[in-house]
């Protein structure tokens, strides 16, 4: 099957090799006989609900976020239609922040967001930097860990009805206090974890691919497991670094 990906602002929001997440999705899809067709969705490009099975947006500095904010806010309604229609979505750090209602910079300037996730973000004085380990349960009973790297000034506040992606085992997460990381709304995943994220967490890449296929077929396939030896080592190295830095609290 051709899995259609809408990559939002690849030229603006792409720090920490976040583009690498697309490479992992493409490779793991190919190993299962599928093809990833990636379309860039940039400034002024229309979002056609139903045209993409999976949306992706990476992280970025405040400067880049300020450049794309009003454009992604304008895409908010169509993105909502797309995910209500069953499309999946992975948003990382700065892109994750812009899926919320707004991102307030340290200057006090408020960048509008797409309003797809019930959250908002306020930049703090101290940046939250380092390896992170998160425990999550995307499927009931399937408790997994996600390991990655965070670097953000933003403190993300989950609003009423918001579901966190997971519980922080080590690291700062959304705000360095709540003990939660990211936000999940059905097939929409928002996270602060860079790295890039997916090479260290291949199960999450497979979960996103399965959701994208379910958008087309109505059913999420159960993929044959792949070797993933190297990925498991990368996960463990990142998880061990996170554990060694211990818990949260970015006062």
195 binds ligand GLN (CB under 6 A): no
171 binds ligand GLN (CB under 6 A): no
Q: Which is nearer to ligand GLN, 119 or 153 (CB)?
A: 153
Q: Which is nearer to ligand GLN, 17 or 38 (CB)?
A: 17
Q: Which of 14, 21, 65, 211 binds ligand GLN (CB under 6 A)?
A: 65
Kindly determine how many residues on this chain lie close enough to bind ligand GLN according to the rule CB under 6 A: 14
What is the distance between the alpha carbons of residues 162 and 229, in angstroms, rounded to a whole number? 34
60 binds ligand GLN (CB under 6 A): yes
Residue 194 a catalytic site member:
yes
Q: Which of 45, 151, 157, 163 binds ligand GLN (CB under 6 A)?
A: 151
Q: How far is the CB of 61 from ligand GLN (least distance, A)?
A: 5
Q: How far is the CB of 124 from ligand GLN (least distance, A)?
A: 9
The residues of the shown chain that bind ligand GLN, judged by CB under 6 A, are 15, 59-62, 65, 93-94, 97, 123, 151-154
């Amino acid at each position: 099957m051709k899995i259609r990906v809408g990559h939002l602002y690849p030229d603006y929001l792409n720090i920490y090799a976040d583009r690498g997440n697309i490479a992992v999705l493409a490779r793991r899809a190919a190993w299962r006989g599928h093809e990833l067709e990636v379309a860039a969705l940039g400034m002024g490009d229309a979002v056609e609900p139903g045209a993409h099975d999976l949306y992706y947006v990476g992280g970025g500095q405040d400067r880049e976020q300020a450049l794309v904010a009003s454009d992604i806010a304008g895409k908010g309604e169509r993105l909502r239609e797309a995910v209500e229609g069953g499309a999946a979505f992975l948003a990382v750090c700065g892109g994750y922040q812009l899926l919320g209602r707004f991102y307030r910079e340290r200057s006090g300037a408020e960048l509008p967001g797409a309003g797809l996730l019930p959250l908002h973000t306020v930049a703090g004085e101290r940046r939250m930097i380092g390896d992170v380990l998160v425990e999550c349960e995307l499927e009931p009973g399937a408790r997994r860990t996600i390991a990655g790297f965070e670097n953000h000034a933003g403190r993300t506040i989950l609003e009423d009805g918001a579901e966190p992606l997971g519980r922080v085992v080590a690291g700062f997460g959304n705000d360095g206090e709540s003990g939660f990381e990211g936000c999940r709304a059905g097939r929409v995943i928002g996270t602060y974890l860079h790295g890039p994220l997916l090479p260290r967490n291949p199960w999450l890449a497979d979960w996103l691919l399965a959701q994208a296929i379910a958008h087309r077929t109505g059913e999420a396939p159960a993929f044959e497991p792949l070797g993933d030896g190297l990925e498991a080592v990368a996960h463990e190295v990142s998880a061990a670094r996170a554990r060694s830095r211990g818990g949260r609290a970015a006062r």
